[in-house]
Structure 1
Amino acid sequence: MLNDDDLIYSYTRSQALADGVLVDLSERAHSCSIRYSTACTASVWAVIQAIPEPDRDMREVAEAVRISAVLSAMLEAIRAARGTDRVVFRALGAELWAQCGPGDDGEPVITIMLEGED
């Protein structure tokens, strides 16, 4: 009836971004010299947003600083690792890891996850 090559269902990165399962960080990543599209899981996004700021403007600034902290820690881990598609690092008090793999069209993309997520 079915063999190993029959695809029953596929959930694309684009769908995950549209659904909020992944949060696009590409614009901020590009400003940090990361040339690949970059996203984090909703769980990592919750860590980034975990510290409430009373003032809306300050909340946006704090969020940008926390995103930069995650991306900087990831970049440091990538530079230290050299030649691997997976790095583990710590940022904002959380154990994180990033995977570079193929996007929907085979292009390299980076996904940042909490340790234990896949």
Structure 2
Amino acid sequence: MTTHETFGPTIASYTRAQALDDGALVDVTQMAQDARFRVPVALTRAAWAEAVAWDDDRPEPQDESGRLWDVLYLAGHAASRTAGSNRVTFKVLRVPNENRGHDWNQPEPIELALHIGPGDNAEPVITIMLPNES
């Protein structure tokens, strides 16, 4: 019995390629390879905004490539703890991009989740996201 026979016709589908094309996912595979990832890696737009994005008008020296490297480095350590699971959470210290009033220059922890699963052609891919995303 086929999936179509069991569940009926597909109503809608949204591929990883479409998510990358429309910006819902940010492809970070090139830097991830430098961090020793061997499969494609992307961040959700929300994870990028919280952990990587940086407003260049802020006075303190930060840059997105350095912030991304921190995320990927810690994600690599988290990936080594996924034995038997396809998802693991990890924390990154980052200075929030927005001014939060008191101690606006101080790093704060943010929790992220690393998920390894099938891409559009059943190949392994990694997505880094906020814990409440799927």
Deviations along 1:20-76, whole A, 9 cap, x unmatched? 000001001011110110000000111211x42349xx76xx111111111111111
TM-score (norm 2): 0.76
Task: Point out the more displaced range, 84-93 or 6-15.
Answer: 84-93
Whether the 8 Å contact between 1:26 and 1:38 is mirrored in structure 2 is: yes
Residue of structure 2 equivalent to 1:88:
89
Q: Which has the higher helix share?
A: 1
| Residue pairs, 1:105-116, within 5 angstroms | 105-116=121-132
Stretches of structure 2 lacking an aligned partner (at least 5 in a row): 95-108
The structure with the largest alpha-carbon Rg is 2
Q: How many residues matched? A: 112
Deviations along 1:73-98, whole A, 9 cap, x unmatched? 11111113333211100113211001
Counterpart amino acid of residue 121 in structure 2: D
Shift of 1:3: 5.3
Residue of structure 2 equivalent to 1:77:
78
TM-score (norm 1): 0.86
Runs in 1 of length 4+ with deviation above 3 angstroms? none
Counterpart amino acid of residue 88 in structure 1: T
Mapped partners of 2:15, 2:125: distance in 1 = 12
Identical columns (%):
38
**SS at structure 2 position matched to 1:65:** helix
**SS at structure 2 position matched to 1:100:** strand
Residue of structure 2 equivalent to 1:99:
115
Mapped partners of 1:81, 1:105: distance in 2 = 22
